[in-house]
Structure 1
Amino acid sequence: MVDAGSSDSPLEEVSAGAYATEAFELLGNETRLAILVALWEEYDPFGEVTVRFSELRDRVGTADSGQFNYHLDRLEDHFVRATDGGYELSQAGLKLVRSVIAGTGLEEPTLESTAVDMACKLCGEPVAVAYEDGWVYVRCTECAGLWTDAGDRSRGHLAKFSLDPAGLANRSAGEIYAAAWVHSYQRIYGMLEEVCPTCSGPVERSLAICEDHESGGPCRNCDRHLRIVARLRCTVCKELAQAPLGTVAKYHPAVVAFCDEHGLELQYGFNDLDHIARRLEVGGSAVEQVSEEPPRVRVTTAIDGDEVALELDDGLNVVAVE
């Protein structure tokens, strides 16, 4: 329990850091928030980005010049930059407003379970896509899928992709699925390079191995169909991703070249349901644990009877290519 007399602000009791705490406190004022939104509304990424003081004050609608100047000055250290031509959002300010826009979308984000032109790779039955709480869920309409949600084993999933609500804007169900696919791969590949796509912080990479895995369906211990997956976690903002090791392997140049030689492009034109379906049908990967201590796995990608295999250590580093 926090001592009521120990601090003027509850934010001082948490561990975000003094600079971050100050930034959070700055956002608790409507005039400052209005300044940020007004600067964003005037922002043109390929044109003029600065707004003069008088114009900015008129846009915000604050009559008291002194009060407006005070709030603007408070923002300068974090979210606003003063220039000879006026004021503009700093990179932190621009990212903040973009995060709000991305997190809310232009309209209320909704997508009921909707069938798309794809078949389940397990049973061949139709696939449906739904959007819930920032996630695009890909579900088979018939079988139990590859994994289940913890606490809700009646809902089998084939895939689950994070997507900001803005990703639903002006897109059909199939286009939402494709956009979520692209966004997910960009995020995973950035984290494989150990750079967080959210905050640019360093990323920890590891193997997640279920020691008591149950085969034949989603495991009751890990809620996954796959015994071994890649786990990626930002050490700064706690962004995370979990991916099949076949996805990790398909980022390596040896596997990219192998797939290209066999008519499967991995890096271009995959914002398309037909391409996604082909990628799921061709170039499947098999995973084998070859060492327990230290943990090592072999990921083999096969097309038309040919194979390429990578051996990965616990940090997802490629230690051998066959």
Structure 2
Amino acid sequence: MERSDASESPLAAAPGATGPASEAFELLSNETRLAILVALWDAYDPFDGENAVRFSDLRDAVGVTDSGQFNYHLEKLTGHFVESTDQGYELREPGRKFVRAVVAGAGIEEPTLEPTEIDMECSLCGGAVEVGYEDGWVYNACTECDGLFAGEDTPRGHLSKFKLDPAGFTGRSPAEIYSAAWVRAFQRLYAMIEGICPSCSGPVERSLERCETHDDEGICDDCDRGAAVTAQFECPVCKEWAVTTLGGVAKYHPAAVAFHYERGLPLQYGFNDLASINERLETGHTDWNVVSEDPLRVRVTLGFDGDELDIELAEDLSVVDVSDPR
């Protein structure tokens, strides 16, 4: 994977940046300014074209009696997080994005989910599967085998893990939490396959990554994974990243979507419940093999009801060939 110049901060180098990122953090380090953003958020209605709040009403909502002091903090926000109009003040998109991050769960107490058994079988050994939550990640793990990956902070048996904001726990059971995390992960993956960062909209670097010392028996001691080759994505602007299986990338291609849909399994629709996820995992299979060492290329074979489809991925994860081996 090619990487951007490490001597320059990825945030400072962001396309369209108006100044050092540290300035934005400094602007939001004051309690009054944060209260202004929250007050404007409370007044915001996405389906109402009139969201401006008059100066006096905004000051009353924030609770600052000193007009001069309030105006000082408001002016600091105006231009980047807040827009001044003839009707008053309203949030600009960066301001809305910041408050959304807070609402989603950044900066508040994280929820907890102790390992809980759900109605799912391990795809490797058929054992019982538990779902849990730790440090911003929803994971599922087999209770009987070593799973698909490991690591210093990863318990034995892990099969997959997906990011989920604390807001994703609202009103959901453990099975529904796992399903929500699954959907969220694949929507983010699809954006990254298209080269767009789902977090900041920056460009995404995509690559096949191979462990040269991979141990084919169980979890490799060097890469902590069950597969020697994985698909990796990284945004050089905000450092968002993802690692997924080769099948996860191949199944995004329209030929793969059609292949499964014709056999009664929609890949990108209606998979927001555990039963649909189980069906997807249980009815198809994925194999892969390296077809070129330099440059690295792999052929991913998708199987369903005795039929197969081959999709060949280049080193940058682009699809270079699609074929039916029958």
TM-score, with structure 1 as normaliser: 0.92
Question: 1:129 touches 1:136 (CA, 8 Å); kept in 2?
Answer: yes
Residue 231 (structure 1) aligned with residue 235 (structure 2): no
Provide the residue aligned with 1:297 in structure 2: 298
The 3 A distance-change label for structure 1 pair 88 and 318 is same
Provide the residue aligned with 2:316 in structure 1: 315
Relative contact order, higher structure (CA 8 A, sep 6+): 2
* Partners of 2:154 and 2:302 in 1: CA distance: 30
- Structure 2 spans left out of the alignment, 5+ residues: 1-7, 13-18
Q: How many residues align?
A: 309
Can you list the C-alpha shifts for 1:266-299, whole angstroms capped at 9, x where unaligned? Answer: 1111001111001111222111111100111001
Provide the residue aligned with 2:194 in structure 1: 193
* Partners of 2:83 and 2:153 in 1: CA distance: 48
Residue 120 (structure 1) aligned with residue 122 (structure 2): yes
Can you list the C-alpha shifts for 1:178-198, whole angstroms capped at 9, x where unaligned? Answer: 000000000000000000000
* Partners of 2:213 and 2:68 in 1: CA distance: 66
Can you list the C-alpha shifts for 1:201-241, whole angstroms capped at 9, x where unaligned? Answer: 00000001111111221110100011111000012101000
TM-score, with structure 2 as normaliser: 0.91
Query: Cα RMSD between the aligned structures?
Result: 1.7
Shift of 1:153: 6.8
* Partners of 2:119 and 2:92 in 1: CA distance: 43
* Partners of 2:263 and 2:237 in 1: CA distance: 40
Counterpart secondary structure, 1:307? strand
Letter in 2 for 1:237: C
The 3 A distance-change label for structure 1 pair 71 and 154 is closer
The 3 A distance-change label for structure 1 pair 51 and 179 is same
Residue 20 (structure 1) aligned with residue 21 (structure 2): yes
Residue 73 (structure 1) aligned with residue 75 (structure 2): yes
Provide the residue aligned with 1:98 in structure 2: 100
Provide the residue aligned with 2:173 in structure 1: 172
Shift of 1:19: 3.5
* Partners of 2:268 and 2:319 in 1: CA distance: 20
Can you list the C-alpha shifts for 1:42-69, whole angstroms capped at 9, x where unaligned? Answer: 2222235322211110010000111111
Counterpart secondary structure, 1:284? strand
Residue 140 (structure 1) aligned with residue 142 (structure 2): yes
Provide the residue aligned with 1:157 in structure 2: 158
Counterpart secondary structure, 1:201? coil
Shift of 1:16: 4.3
Letter in 1 for 2:165: D
Mean Cα displacement is larger for which, 232-241 or 15-24? Answer: 15-24
Counterpart secondary structure, 1:41? helix
Counterpart secondary structure, 1:72? helix
Provide the residue aligned with 2:44 in structure 1: 43
Question: 2:40 touches 2:53 (CA, 8 Å); kept in 1?
Answer: yes
- Structure 1 spans left out of the alignment, 5+ residues: 1-12
- Aligned pair partner of 2:58 in 40, 56, 59: 56
Provide the residue aligned with 1:265 in structure 2: 266
Percent of aligned positions with the same letter in both sequences?
61
Mean Cα displacement is larger for which, 308-317 or 78-87? Answer: 78-87
* Partners of 2:153 and 2:91 in 1: CA distance: 44
Question: 2:299 touches 2:311 (CA, 8 Å); kept in 1?
Answer: yes
- 1:273-292 equivalences in 2 (<5 Å): 273-292=274-293
The 3 A distance-change label for structure 1 pair 80 and 65 is same
Can you list the C-alpha shifts for 1:66-103, whole angstroms capped at 9, x where unaligned? Answer: 11111111101210111222211110010011112213
Question: 1:289 touches 1:296 (CA, 8 Å); kept in 2?
Answer: yes
Question: 2:11 touches 2:238 (CA, 8 Å); kept in 1?
Answer: no
Provide the residue aligned with 2:87 in structure 1: 85
* Partners of 1:50 and 1:262 in 2: CA distance: 52
* Partners of 2:119 and 2:218 in 1: CA distance: 25
* Partners of 1:40 and 1:209 in 2: CA distance: 46
